[in-house]
Amino acid sequence: MADGRRTAIRLADGRELIYFDDLPGLDRSRPDPRRLEPARTASQLRYDPVLDEWVVVAAHRQGRTNLPAADACPLCPGGPDSEIPAAGYHAVAFENRFPSLVGAPVPAPPDGPAGLRPGTGRCEVVCFTDDHDAAFSTLAPRRRATIGRALVDRTEELGRQPGVEYVLCFENRGREIGATLPHPHGQIYAFPFVPPRIARALESARRHRHRSGGCLFCELGAAEEKAGERVVAAAGDFIAFVPTAARWPYEVVIQPRRHLPDLAALGEAELAVLMELYADVLGRFERLFGGEPPAPYIACFLQAPVRADRDLAHLRVQVFTLRRAPDKLKYLAATESGAGVFINDVAPERAAERLRAAGG
């Protein structure tokens, strides 16, 4: 974004912060007034040979900020411990003060995974607005487009860092799913490995291409659009639908009809359309149960790995909530947590019907 809408500074402890503005020419030079010591972390990556997965051990995060009072929110401008020095801002990305992963990633040994590696990578926070009481779904289209450009910027820049294999952009909203700050924000993790669910999905895509020569995700999206009963909304070249085998009570996948690997592959106009459809879907989740309180949700931008299998991957946004009824949550009990078998209490067709009805 070399048009005056991007400004990078350093915080008092050396962490990088980048302002992303709706318009050029704003002064973002105010320094961080705090006295902070450089963060010290001791994360580890430990390999589980039974499930062939990496586990991040980040014991230092026990002391991270948790549900502070509104006047002590570190994402609001002007507070004594505000992470953002400017008196006001549009959108901001900065290195997390309590990261799970930090430092230059160490590539896996060429002869296979070792049992223990440093917990390297990068964790960033993305603030959507300086308005503490807003939500992504209530922002103006111009701001949502700015946030989209920020996600593209960070996807590209983090993907260029040596040793980074996967960039995950996501948002957790609501105390019920573990969000520790209510201020509207998302996060970005740059992993030194491809996360297991992504790797498994790509392996399924590989088998499908070997059998049929086509893209698994393209064909699933086309089949859902043709069937129609689980389609929630569409805009431009994007479709939003409830998966046939949805695991969560209310779950939506947003994806482009054409085969694209990641956010960076979208043109600016396409990116703006995606951000508007994403906001539409989030609004439907928030209104599902009358809107008070809004349904908690998790949203993940599922992109191609940085280097491997980019031709197999298909950009998707997954949004889901743990709430299955106004006063009931879906808990991951023995079958889900212990055996990995999800039991969904809401039929996907009924979920799609309710989400369609929740349109603004």
Q: Decide: 278 and 297 in contact? Cβ < 8 Å.
A: no
Main-chain dihedrals φ then ψ at residue 328, nearest 5 degrees: -135, 140
Cα-based angle 317, 332, 183 (whole degrees, multiple of 5): 50
Q: Two tokens at 34?
A: 């705090």
CA gap 170, 305 in Å, rounded: 15
Q: What is the DSSP string of 324-340?
A: EETTEE----IIIIIH-
Choose the catalytic residue: 185, 208, 210, 314.
185
> Where is the binding site for Zn(2+), in residues?
73, 76, 132, 183
Q: Decide: 230 and 224 in contact? Cβ < 8 Å.
A: yes
> Where is the binding site, in residues?
73, 76, 132, 183
CA distances from 321 to 271, 284, 294, 328, 356 (A): 24, 11, 10, 11, 16
Q: Decide: 250 and 346 in contact? Cβ < 8 Å.
A: yes
CA gap 315, 304 in Å, rounded: 7
Residue 210 bears catalytic tag:
no
What is the SS3 assignment for 317? strand
Q: Among all residues, which ones are annotated catalytic?
A: 185
